[in-house]
Amino acid sequence: MAGGRAGDVGQDLSVTQIVVATAIMRNGQVLAQQRAYPSADAGRWEFPGGRVEPGESEEAAVVRECREELGVEVEAGPSVGPDVPLRNGMVLRLYTATLVDDNAEPVAVEHSAVRWVGIEEFDDLPWLEADLAFLPDLRKLFG
Ligand SMILES: Nc1nc2c([nH]c(=O)n2[C@H]2C[C@H](O)[C@@H](COP(=O)(O)OP(=O)(O)OP(=O)(O)O)O2)c(=O)[nH]1
Size (the chain), residues: 143
| pLDDT tens sequence across 68-127 | 999 999 999 999 999 999 988 999 999 999 999 999 999 999 999 999 999 999 889 999
Q: Taking the model in full, what pTM does it have?
A: 0.90
Atom 3 of ligand 1, residue of closest alpha carbon: 50
Instruction: For ligand 1, say whether the CB of 66 is within 6 Å of any of its atoms.
Output: no
Give the bridge partners for 99, in sequence order.
74
Collapsing DSSP to helix, strand or coil, 105 comes out as coil
The pLDDT score that the predictor gives to residue 15 is: 82
Mutate to test the pocket of ligand 1, among 41, 46, 94 (most ligand atoms within 8 A of CB): 46
Report the complex ipTM: 0.92
**Helix boundaries (H) for 33-101:** 58-70
Instruction: Give backbone dihedrals phi and psi of 108, rounded to 5 degrees, phi first.
Output: -85, 95
12-70 per-position pLDDT tens digit: 556 899 999 999 999 999 999 999 999 999 999 999 999 999 999 999 999 999 999 99
Q: Is the confidence at residue 1, as pLDDT, over 90?
A: no
Query: Does the CB atom of residue 135 touch ligand 1 within 6 A?
Result: no
DSSP state letter for 133? G
For ligand 1, is residue 81 a contact (CB within 6 Å)? no
Out of 3.40.1440.60, 3.90.79.10, 3.40.50.300, 1.10.1200.120, select the CATH number for domain 18-142: 3.90.79.10
CA of 1 to the centre of ligand 1 (A): 37
- Give the ligand 1 atom nearest the CA of 35: 22
Instruction: Parse the chain into domains and list their residue ranges.
Output: 18-142
109 in contact with ligand 1, CB cutoff 6 A: no
- For ligand 1, atom 15, the nearest C-alpha belongs to 50
119 close to ligand 1 (CB < 6 Angstrom): no
pLDDT exceeds 60 at position 9: no
Establish whether residue 95 lines the binding site of ligand 1, counting it when its CB lies within 6 angstroms of any ligand atom.
no
Amino acid at 33: Q
Pairing mode of beta strands 18-26, 91-99: parallel
Cα within 13 Å of Cα(90), Cβ side: 14
* Cross-strand pairs, 105: none
